[in-house]
Amino acid sequence: MRIPCAKVGVTAEQFGIKDSADCAVRALANVSAFSYPEAHKLMEDAGRKRNKGTPWATLHSVYMATGAKEATYFGKNTAKMACRFNVNHYNKSITLRTFINEYIKGKYIVVVRGHALAVCDGAVIDLFANKAGKRLMCVYKFD
């Protein structure tokens, strides 16, 4: 089963920026007051390379500096990072479907293996439908 997107949100092409593997940038622009170009510049300034995925430390530092109120990491593979960043950690992960059903209010950036997406008031904002059974690696809560 796949969870369809409520809307696509912002994309690099809308602003004449050529970039791929920018899901972390799009997620930030979709949950915060930053426009895509501003979010893109923040990520680049923090060390993200154009057309490359965002390194975990970069993603975490930018999200926390731009308004994330809390971060929660899930699964055994993220225990070291959770300790490094001093954030909440749970050994057992939850699925994207469970998260969307339980957190129907608020703005979140959800990170699954190899991808980041925005969830606003229980609706997915992304370029494509996502597998409902994907396990969450971390969640950043925004206002």
Is residue 47's pLDDT more than 90? yes
Q: Residue 133 has which token pair?
A: 């059974």
Share of the chain above pLDDT 90, in %: 91
- pTM for this structure? 0.93
Q: Read off the pLDDT band of 4 (50, 70, 90).
A: confident
Is residue 110's pLDDT more than 90? yes
Q: What is the DSSP string of the chain?
A: -EE--SB----GGGGT---SS-HHHHHHHHHSS--HHHHHHHHHHTTPPTTSPPPHHHHHHHHHHTT--EEEEESGGGHHHHHHHT-EEESS--BHHHHHHH--SSEEEEEETTEEEEEETTEEESSS-EETTPBEEEEEEE-
Instruction: Quote the mean pLDDT of the chain.
Output: 94
